[in-house]
Amino acid sequence: PALYVQVDLNGTQNLMDAALAAGTVQNFVFASTSSVYGNTQVVPFVESDPCDRVLQPYAAAKRAAEILGHAYHHLFGLNFTVVRFFTVYGPSGRPDMMAYLLADSVTKGIQIPLYEGGEMYRDWTYVDDTTDGVVAALDRPLGYEIINLGRGEPTLLRDFVTMIETLAGKKANLIHKPKPAADFVLNQADISKARRLLDYNPQVSVAEGVKRFWEWYVAAEGIG
């Protein structure tokens, strides 16, 4: 927990202080997470939903930074836009995230956990769509705003697994486990605010995004 606070909260404060000291930063965009919604069962998630029942220290630190950003906007006039990411995936992604773990599992036989039999929904959002939203936010000083950046169309985890397996022509090495206490069953972004304020319009379907990720992975790993 201390590391999350140090990086996500204190680190954000350091950057905001630097932005104010520079005097030339027109807009501060903070990368937050859909995890701040906790185990909310009402979908899609709207930016105005309560976010005071988070399930993990990471989400708590992100939410605290969102709130601190509001204080900096109120006191110092810093334009502060929060963009909440929803299950971002794609080329050069983190190796500890699900897409990369699955690719490693089907190609290298590495055993990975599959929680709740894959009966969990995620709003998989291709990295190019997410970055389009971030760039749009950078170009628009909005005062203080919180904006979801997802696709708005949740996909079952086991269907995501099947897509990777089909492209690989192999089965993943999965061990079935119950959901960890810090995890959630479903998430889905309401992206109407992003469409309105950022002209955000995600272009890459999950099927196409997985295909692009797999092609990158095969090349990066020197497979075939």
Say which amino acid occupies 81.
T
Q: Using CB atoms within 10 A of its CB, is residue 39 exposed (0-12), middle (13-18) or buried (19+)?
A: middle
Say which amino acid occupies 194.
A
Say which amino acid occupies 191.
I
Residue owning tokens 């927990």: 1
- Please give the angle made by the CA atoms of 133, 32 and 61, to the nearest 5 degrees: 170
| Catalytic entry in 4, 37, 58, 89 | 58
Euclidean distance between CA atoms 98 and 159, whole angstroms: 13
| Alpha helical stretches, state H, the chain | 2-4, 11-22, 57-76, 98-108, 127-138, 157-168, 192-198, 206-221
Question: Is 58 in the active site?
Answer: yes
Token readout for 158 is: 């086991």
- Please give the angle made by the CA atoms of 68, 70 and 72, to the nearest 5 degrees: 75
Q: How far is CA 212 from CA 20, 140, 194, 219, in A?
A: 39, 30, 24, 11
Instruction: Report, as residue numbers or ranges, the catalytic residues.
Output: 58
